[in-house]
Copies of this chain bind each other. A is one copy, B any other.
Amino acid sequence: MTRMLRTQGVTAPAGFRATGIAAGIKASGALDLALVFNEGPDHTAAGVFTRNKVKAAPVLWSQQVLTTGRLRAVVLNSGGANACTGPLGFQDTHATAEATAAALSDWGTETGAIEVAVCSTGLIGDRLPMDKVLAGVREVVHEMAGGLTGGEEAARAIMTTDSVPKQVALHQDNWTVGAMAKGAGMLAPSLATMLCVITTDAVASPDALRAALNAATATTFDRLDVDGSCSTNDTVLLLSSGASEITPSQQELTEAVTRVCEDLCAQLQADAEGVTKRVAVTVTGAQTEDDAVLAARVVARDSLVKTALFGSDPNWGRVLAAVGMAPVALDADRITVSFNGSPVCIDGVGAPGAREVDLSGEDIEVSVDIGVGDASATIRTTDLSHGYVEENSAYSS
């Protein structure tokens, strides 16, 4: 029997400590520095990162340290992305990892900087206030605590425009997966722009973790697309302590990690910037799953579709116009569209009553059959609202 709880996060599995503190990186005085620490006995790890060609310093650093398949700790800050900060920004990330390793060594766990991943989120382009970051790193190591509280504080410390912390734990019979994530805008398309740390007490090799994480992110974070904008800082890490002494099969591990990622995706979608509608765009009848993903993404990103949904307007013609631009095989005379299960367009022509379909609820399902095959895929997105424009026209200033 399994149990899924959103009251727990990265400290739910045995062998993990975490906490979050206010280090003064954010002017507001809110929590802004988090640590996730793996007590072992194992320290295997895997990661996936943004596909953006412009990568933040912490992404470049963490990609490098992850080549070892091993991590003792992850230090994360909000209040600044440390992206587009050049060689000096990379030195800042390196110094953060060094300081974390030194503090953990002082505390009694011999740690090298190469065992510390770094994640940053916030405004692109500014250097971090390193005096505050380095002092904060020493403090957060001392504050680090086991138990449930620490995990939630860590989840709070990585929030930017998020309105609520996001965490979840999936308890299997004898082993557990826990996770936290942040992300509310710049959500797309290769990883929903965000930081995410997943922990487990299962015994798993780096290869097993990598396989589980790649499979899980491909069908979850990779299919959440709020605004089509992909960040410079996307990072998803999976750490294993092995403390349960249970070795799940690859399939069991992949399924558990996927369920955790799915749940976090739902939380990210529900808290996306300016969201008033949670939208799932499903394309069926595609020649390949890749085609279905591409076509669903084109519809999910279309500003005219998204503003119509904000207005609860069943303007299905915009769905047709959008999908018609997808770079995939389709039969324009066999496209069928339904909103919340009600057909609005059949074989490329409007269905009776299409303009009266009720879209006033918070959840909208858009289904599009493109009539040339059997493959399907779903992209999750949100509407395009006044709230999105408001939040994003005033974020940096």
What residues make up the interface of A, taking CB atoms closer than 8 Å to B? 51-55, 81, 83-86, 89, 123-126, 185-186, 189, 227-232, 301-304, 307-308, 310-311, 313, 315-318, 320-325, 330, 332-333, 335, 345, 347-350, 354-355, 384-386, 388-390, 392-397
Measured between alpha carbons, how far is A55 from B86 in the docked complex, in Å? 47
Copies in the complex: 2
Given contacts A303-B228, A317-B123, contact A393 B310 (CB under 8 A): yes
Which B residues lie within 8 Å of A308 (CB)? 392-393, 395-396
Which B residues lie within 8 Å of A51 (CB)? 325
Given contacts A85-B349, A315-B396, A317-B81, contact A53 B324 (CB under 8 A): yes
Which B residues lie within 8 Å of A232 (CB)? 317, 320-321, 324
Cross-chain contact A317 with B84 (CB below 8 angstroms): yes
Cross-chain contact A317 with B389 (CB below 8 angstroms): no
Cross-chain contact A321 with B397 (CB below 8 angstroms): no
Which B residues lie within 8 Å of A349 (CB)? 84-86, 89
Give A232's nearest chain B residue, CB to CB: B321
Cross-chain contact A303 with B123 (CB below 8 angstroms): no
Give A189's nearest chain B residue, CB to CB: B325
What would 16 A/B residue contacts be, using CB atoms closer than 8 Å?
A52-B324, A53-B324, A53-B325, A55-B332, A85-B350, A86-B349, A124-B317, A186-B321, A189-B325, A227-B303, A227-B304, A229-B321, A230-B321, A303-B303, A307-B389, A388-B389
Which B residues lie within 8 Å of A316 (CB)? 124-125
Cross-chain contact A54 with B394 (CB below 8 angstroms): no
Cross-chain contact A347 with B86 (CB below 8 angstroms): yes
Which B residues lie within 8 Å of A392 (CB)? 303-304, 307-308, 311
Given contacts A84-B349, A385-B389, contact A230 B325 (CB under 8 A): yes
Which B residues lie within 8 Å of A332 (CB)? 53-55
Besides the contacts A125-B320, A229-B321, A230-B324, what 5 more A-B pairs have beta carbons closer than 8 Å?
A: A83-B317, A311-B393, A313-B393, A313-B395, A386-B386
Question: When the two chains form the complex, which single residue of B186, B313, B322, B390 contacts A394, counting CB atoms closer than 8 Å?
Answer: B313
The 4 tightest CB contacts between A and B, nearest first, are: A124-B317, A311-B393, A54-B324, A307-B392
Which B residues lie within 8 Å of A228 (CB)? 301-303
